[in-house]
Amino acid sequence: MTETPKPPVAALRRHSFTHHGITVEDPYAWLRDPGYPEVKDTDVLAYLGAENAYFEAVMSPQKGLVEAILGEMKGRVKDDDSSVPQRDGDFFYWYAFDAGAEYRKWYRRPIGAGSDVVIVDEPKLAEGHDYFQLGGLAVSPNGRLLAYAVDTNGSERYVLRVRDLETGADLPDVIENWRYGLVWAADSQSFLYTDADENWRSKVVWHHRLGDAQSADRAVYIEEAEEFGVQIGRTQSRKYAVLQTGDHATSEVRLLPTDDFAAAPVLVSPRKADRQYDVDEREGTLYIRVNDTHPNFRVVTAPVSAPEQWHELIAGSDRHYLQSATSFKNLLAVEERVEGLSQIRLHHYEDGSHRYIAFPEASFVANLSTNPEYHVDRLRIDYQSMVTPNTVYDYHLEGDRLETLKVREIPSGYDPSQYATERLMAPARDGTLVPVSIVYRRDFVKDGRGPLHVYAYGAYGFAFPPGFSANRLSLLDRGFAYAIAHIRGGDDLGYQWYLDGKLEKRANTFNDFVDVTRFLIDQGFASPGRVTASGGSAGGELMGAIINQAPELYGAVAAHVPFVDVLNTMLDDTLPLTPGEWPEWGNPIADKAAFELIRSYSPYDNVKAQAYPALLITGGLNDPRVTYWEPAKWAAKLRAAKTDDNVLLLKTNMGAGHGGKSGRYVSLEEEAEEYAFLISQIDR
């Protein structure tokens, strides 16, 4: 038998900093390469390499289990899968995978007659790259040109090009550092875009004319506030580009007519602290979703000519959380969450009446899919539940009926009758009832022998809905129950649910997760030590907090690209996201109370000498969101402090970013590794 090597030990190097009269020691600060975003420090690379080698050595005995799970996951993927074509103007658009391909091809076909044409060939673009991500596609109004962007290292700094769809050739235009947004002018001769500056922040909306060099592009709008970023989109009518600035609590919108990008952007309403709003337009009327009078938002209207003359259309409600409002020409579609469950309300302009689309299950997730047309006679809808695979519907307005266009196929077989799902309410320590969605095989016995996996995110107002996961079946079929904890910090039960998990109420998020775990143990789903947990990014911060608070509950935990060095990151306003994050976490530079609060829960700062569960920690060397040194420092500190002999693994993707490896099959490898790790540790 090959002896498992000893884990790497990171050097301790004296380093401290002082804020508000408080001195903090940070002996692992050296793991941040001073040349970042380039990482060339030999000591740093040597440590990350040693940790990766240790990961491979420890996981080597689980290679068979990893391959078995990976085979199961691949067996649930339709090899030549494709999307349902959707009409946009004179063409149908869709994507399809060739058998065995990691990446998809994008197609279009003229309405009525004509052949299928490949407009983007991702496999060809990905050739020679270990990582590939298509950042977006935008066809010009005349249907002749296509703007597309690619990232080949995971840094999320895309290169955007423009393709002539009639010739298939790319134009000379190249936009470096493109980032998430493009709006074509009505005449198809220019477009607006945003880029990432040296700190990976989007502060400028640029106007690019075809044929010009990027250096000649004109700044249409510049955001001066340090904590605000800017993003762009367009109204459903396509008459206006929408320039939206904001942080995690406040927003401000300007409109620019797509037929005149030389015009001055029109401000809808000046920014007000802690007020968020977004805007759509129909026939000269603005439809504004805003949280000024109720945390769950209301919808108001205003003339384009007088955008601050607001008239209430849909009032705010404790029960109805209004998530979006899309003003099609013939109806207003409002996506809501009612008592935590998805609903789609159709509001009629003529008489103010409305109806809800009826769906076939009591607990489900339903969202408007891509609906590019302005006038609609049907709506494309995505639907799923914890036992029902992803389903694509067309909802026909005439006849009030759902037409099933596609149900995700599970080639290796799937029988939903073999699984059961429940929605439970777990009491938190402050008396609040926290929803829990749980799924398991019908032969699962609630006798405390488990095992149980618990997942959550709990930040930024992002809910994690009770949807379907084919990969999850590899745990369920091995006897696991799988629970999603709808904890505060997400907006699962409305915007106030989010507010109750941020800033000075941040501890509610961590406490909710622990209390949900204890509740499920009391309900017989597992016993202490027979529970696994996972989360990523801010959900990785959650994992760090719960193992500091209640390590005895968990047998194994996976924390992916975890935001765990919260205090250091929020003190560093040179990092990409920090200023815009202060409304979420607090500003410890300016506020001593925020400093002390963050320090009280930051997982890295609260590592202590105690027993911890088995841990799998991942990071990405090129990650601009959670920088690689956060998981590295945390792993090093945990390894030095913990009093147990449970395994601790750190895996850093040396050629990827926040999302891990790319490719539909390659990306499954990491989830298979996670599952194998959790299973092997819980069954020790």
Which residues carry out catalysis? Answer: 537, 623, 658
Beta-carbon contacts of 413 under 8 Å, excluding residues fewer than 6 positions away, are: none
How buried is residue 666: exposed, middle or buried, by Cβ count under 10 Å (0-12/13-18/19+)?
middle
Q: For the packed helices 666-682 and 63-75, what is the interaxial angle rounded to 10 degrees?
A: 130
SS3 at position 298:
strand
Closest CA to 684 of 529, 575, 576, 540: 529
Tell me how far CA of residue 315 lies from CA of 276, 308, 324, 413, in angstroms: 16, 17, 14, 46
- Which secondary-structure segment (H or E) carries 560? strand 554-560
Calculate ∠ Cα 413-418-421, nearest 5°.
120
- Which secondary-structure segment (H or E) carries 219? strand 218-222
**Phi, psi of 331, deg, nearest 5:** -165, 160
Q: For the packed helices 507-522 and 538-549, what is the interaxial angle rounded to 10 degrees?
A: 60
Alpha helices in 442-577 (DSSP H): 473-476, 495-499, 507-522, 538-549, 566-571
Measured CA to CA, the distance from residue 149 to residue 160 in angstroms comes to: 4
Tell me how far CA of residue 312 lies from CA of 48, 298, 379, in angstroms: 56, 8, 25
342 within 8 A of 364, measured Cβ to Cβ:
yes
Up-side HSE of residue 341: CA atoms within 13 Å toward CB?
15
Radius of gyration of the chain (CA): 25
- β-partners of residue 246 are 229, 251
643 within 8 A of 54, measured Cβ to Cβ:
no
Tell me how far CA of residue 520 lies from CA of 206, 315, 423, 451, 509, in angstroms: 52, 37, 12, 11, 17
What phi-psi label fits residue 143: left (phi over 0), alpha (psi between -120 and 50 degrees) or beta?
left
